[in-house]
């Protein structure tokens, strides 16, 4: 996958995570930790073969931030067939690499 899908609509998000493997990143443009992990995340997304990667800007979609119980950004949530498998909050590089490797194995 070349780039993550940008979503702000709850119905579209539910549709994308309903089947297969999906990684959802909740982020904000002002977030320093989001900016810090962005280059690695983009690299890992490009290497991702079997998962859909979705970005949700919490300022553009505050209803999704609340619905998915996101308290801090960045938050990454891994879904398999619509079921949350793993969640990491404000990850360091190694944690994000490990998280994406779990997604690759599903």
Catalytic residue selected from 17, 21, 31, 100 = 31
53 is catalytic: no
Q: 58, 88 in Cβ contact below 8 A?
A: no
Of 22, 24, 34, 103, catalytic: 34
Residues designated catalytic? 31, 34
């Amino acid at each position: 996958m070349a780039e993550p899908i940008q979503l702000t609509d709850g119905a579209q998000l539910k549709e994308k995570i309903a089947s297969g493997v999906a990684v959802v990143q909740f982020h904000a443009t002002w977030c320093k930790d989001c900016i810090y992990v962005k280059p690695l995340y983009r690299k890992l997304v490009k290497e991702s073969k079997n998962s859909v990667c979705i970005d949700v800007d919490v300022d553009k979609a505050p209803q999704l931030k609340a619905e998915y119980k996101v308290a801090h950004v960045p938050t990454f949530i891994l879904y398999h067939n619509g079921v949350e498998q793993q969640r990491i909050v404000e990850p360091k590089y190694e944690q994000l690499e490990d998280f994406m490797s779990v997604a690759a194995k599903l």
